Structure 1
């Protein structure tokens, strides 16, 4: 689980670092310049790191499934080598998926305005600047977005249906509470992440441009900021530190 958490943390750090600096600079200066190569590079890494996060979240749900539904086989199945292979597969698929729409975008002919009406170089605002027909590209990207978002989401739903069924069979209430607590953080992150990603990318592009800006702000800035708190609040030591600081603040006032 900690190996998968490390992979998730790395994808979120790279994901936010790819978007946030230029976005903040553009907000401060009321606009920013970026080269065509820089825009394509930002888009490629945005898709790669976002896909890696999605695949890692689905791998984490499989890990929770084995830990709760197959506890006696957990150590045998999920060894360090197996986890490393799983992480490498997630990242390899992520880079592969991101390279396909980039190859399409590079073939487009851009003309007219060179202003990107978005907070970063994303697919929808880029194809808005194209002079050629982009209907085929939009269909392909929608299918890829479904693979990146809906397929992992279905895997998570399937694994958690087995997890919930197994937890309901646990006779003691304490055992049920402990089992649910191991999944609460992951469920919180999954709910926030996929709800925004599905709306932003599975919906046909170009119809919710203004709404996509708000959603993009959520999953590029807010989610990476909130997720560490969601996971660390289950840590007893961090809870103790928060309670201690709370007592000291109350005593001070």
Structure 2
């Protein structure tokens, strides 16, 4: 997939070069990664074994949890190893594959969040047509299309980022192979690559954001027309978890990828840690602690296990 290049490896400078900070950070991020895996795998298993959660919203949620598992696994183990190792080299192909896989699963999450917003829109605004509009077949078609478009987008991102010449420094000032620090090392002109990446990021991030925004505008208009205060509260409550995840995910995404490369500063590492490490651990807790259906299914599973 890569173009003309002379570099066979890169060196990831990591989060910090302070020996005193590396061990505490290793312990902290290891715990976060373990909880991320347990939480997201738990969501997938819980939806699978609980008939009450066999509906489109949780179908999309299982794929969202799966994407969280995958893209955190692409980043965290390598970052943890580098915190304790003096050898922080990564091969050119390894760097390229890490970037490809990361962008693939992050793009999937953008589309899944839009699908979940549309699902809530149909459930609240067109409840009588919900089963017809959001059928099992439609769910699979939407998810399959998101995987396909994410795959094509990841190919474009990776080609634009690694398709030029790398004949100078090979030290990536980051803890994983991301677009901006890699493009800084390219010898050839990066303007056209940056523009293509910007266009695709805009399509994926802004496009899905528009779907989410329009869905929630319609939801708010419908909810405000409801006569019962209890109905309004219940409708808003069903959307609260999704809105929290959307705010966290797209907030950091807009900060990281929809600003000129000249605007990137050292604060980007902090934002990247939040985006790649912290966000995947928050999602299971947001959906389990703020969602009555998930908590109910969890309690039922717990009773079944204890009764056995």
Normalised to the residue count of structure 2, the TM-score between the two structures is 0.75
**CA offsets 1:173-214 (integer angstroms, 9 cap, x no match):** 110111011100000000000010011001012421312211
Structure 2 Cα separation of the partners of residues 206 and 109 of structure 1: 20
Please tell me whether residue 169 in structure 1 is matched to residue 187 in structure 2. no
Please tell me whether residue 18 in structure 1 is matched to residue 74 in structure 2. yes
Report how many aligned residue pairs link the two structures.
242
Please tell me whether residue 217 in structure 1 is matched to residue 252 in structure 2. no
Structure 1 Cα separation of the partners of residues 131 and 108 of structure 2: 24
Gaps of 5+ in 2: 1-56, 300-308
**CA offsets 1:136-166 (integer angstroms, 9 cap, x no match):** 1111111111112111111111110000010
Whether the aligned pair in 2 keeps the contact of 1:20 and 1:221 (CA below 8 Å) is yes
Structure 1 Cα separation of the partners of residues 75 and 240 of structure 2: 28
Candidates 90, 95, 99, aligned match of 1:43: 99
Candidates 14, 37, 58, aligned match of 1:2: 58
**CA offsets 1:125-144 (integer angstroms, 9 cap, x no match):** 11111111111111111111
Residue 17 of structure 1 aligns to a residue whose secondary structure is helix
Candidates 62, 84, 92, aligned match of 2:140: 84
Structure 1 Cα separation of the partners of residues 231 and 98 of structure 2: 46
Please tell me whether residue 56 in structure 1 is matched to residue 106 in structure 2. no
Please tell me whether residue 147 in structure 1 is matched to residue 203 in structure 2. yes
Structure 1 Cα separation of the partners of residues 183 and 266 of structure 2: 15
User: Relative to structure 2, which stretch is displaced further, 139-148 or 65-74?
Assistant: 139-148
Structure 2 Cα separation of the partners of residues 105 and 54 of structure 1: 20
Structure 1 Cα separation of the partners of residues 86 and 245 of structure 2: 32
Identify the structure with bigger relative contact order (alpha carbons < 8 Å, sequence gap 6+).
2
Shift of 1:112: 2.1
Structure 2 Cα separation of the partners of residues 149 and 85 of structure 1: 20
Shift of 1:110: 0.5
Candidates 158, 179, 183, aligned match of 2:214: 158
Shift of 1:30: 5.6
**Aligned-pair RMSD on alpha carbons?**
1.7
Whether the aligned pair in 1 keeps the contact of 2:160 and 2:197 (CA below 8 Å) is no
Cα distance 1:225–1:172, how it changes in 2: closer, same or farther (>3 A)?
same
Q: Which residue of 1 aligns with 2:286?
A: 230
Cα distance 1:216–1:127, how it changes in 2: closer, same or farther (>3 A)?
same
